[in-house]
Amino acid sequence: MSDHIVKSYDDDLAALKTMLAQMGGIAEEQLSDAIQAISKRDTKLADMVIAQDGKIDALEVQVEEKAILTIARRQPMARDLREIMVAIRIASDLERIGDLAKNTAKRSHAISEPMPRRLMTGFARMGRLAQEQLKDILDAYARSDSEKALAVWRSDEEIDALYNSIFRELLTYMMEDPRMIGLCTHLLFGAKNLERIGDHTTNIAENIYYLSFGTAIPVERPKKDQTSITSYDAAL
């Protein structure tokens, strides 16, 4: 392969990484603002999160188009092909993270009453964990750091455990005071969005590992979500 072709291919991969970095930056901002919007019942901030979603959707399309053109023109082999396929998968996960952040922000429109401090403390902590996971996994991808990706993959147990705790607490509030059902339902779906964001960062971690080694992580994915919401996505 000539130096010109190699450079052109490197430029294509760099362009994909740049678009993914842009997607990651938007997703991080959406997530941070969504957590703040629902915590403070800030509908203007929520609308800003919702408006950002079109940008991340457009970037996903650009990543897919660039990846397809690169495969057609360069006919990459082995790791090079893995890198392109992983870029498409990560773009899909980041787009879904943006959707989940948007859906979380939307809940602020439906919450009119102040939220009990204890409930908000758990929700805010879960939000911080989701933000940390997302930031760390984007750093791991940018640096091709499979060890850091594995650390994020393992940390998903923590966000699952916190979600289970919030789920049980919200059910208790609803059973003890039916007037809390509306508020608690919105918080429950908000918390589920954060748990699902954790799942998507775990997906990205698995793809970074696959990119490095060409195989799946050789142990079962950590998963401790013990709730019974099985039709969650259909409810959004």
Token pair of 200 as six digits: 């998507």
What is the average pLDDT value for the chain, to the nearest integer? Answer: 89
37-48: average pLDDT: 93
182-209: average pLDDT: 95
Token pair of 196 as six digits: 């699902």
Which residue in the block uniquely carries the two structure tokens 């060890």?
147
Reported as a single tens digit per residue, the pLDDT across 88-126 is 999 999 999 999 999 999 999 988 777 778 788 888 899
CA distances from 218 to 79, 150, 162, 206 (A): 19, 11, 26, 10
Contact 201, 137 (CB under 8 A): yes
Inform me whether the pLDDT recorded for 3 exceeds 60: no
Inform me whether the pLDDT recorded for 220 exceeds 80: no
Model confidence band, residue 76 (pLDDT cutoffs 50, 70, 90)? confident
Classify the phi-psi angles of 42: left when phi > 0, otherwise alpha if psi is within -120 to 50, otherwise beta.
beta
How is the chain split into domains, by residue range? 3-235
**Cα separation, 201 vs 101, whole angstroms:** 13
Inform me whether the pLDDT recorded for 133 exceeds 90: yes
User: For residue 230, what pLDDT is reported?
Assistant: 42
Inform me whether the pLDDT recorded for 228 exceeds 60: no
User: For residue 229, what pLDDT is reported?
Assistant: 46
Give me Rg for the CA atoms of the chain: 19
Strands (E), the chain: none
- Please give the CATH topology (third level) of the domain spanning 3-235: Methane Monooxygenase Hydroxylase; Chain G, domain 1 (1.20.58)
163-192: average pLDDT: 92
Model confidence band, residue 235 (pLDDT cutoffs 50, 70, 90)? very low
User: For residue 96, what pLDDT is reported?
Assistant: 98
User: For residue 47, what pLDDT is reported?
Assistant: 96
**Cα separation, 43 vs 6, whole angstroms:** 49
**Cα separation, 22 vs 74, whole angstroms:** 24
Inform me whether the pLDDT recorded for 87 exceeds 90: yes
User: For residue 5, what pLDDT is reported?
Assistant: 53
Contact 216, 203 (CB under 8 A): no
3-state secondary structure of 112: coil
164-178: average pLDDT: 92
**Cα separation, 24 vs 94, whole angstroms:** 7
- What is the percent of the chain with per-residue pLDDT over 90, rounded to a whole number? 69
**Cα separation, 130 vs 111, whole angstroms:** 22
User: For residue 9, what pLDDT is reported?
Assistant: 78
CA distances from 104 to 24, 33, 85, 176, 210 (A): 18, 10, 29, 25, 30
pTM for the full model? 0.89
Model confidence band, residue 165 (pLDDT cutoffs 50, 70, 90)? very high
**Cα separation, 207 vs 126, whole angstroms:** 24
Inform me whether the pLDDT recorded for 1 exceeds 60: no
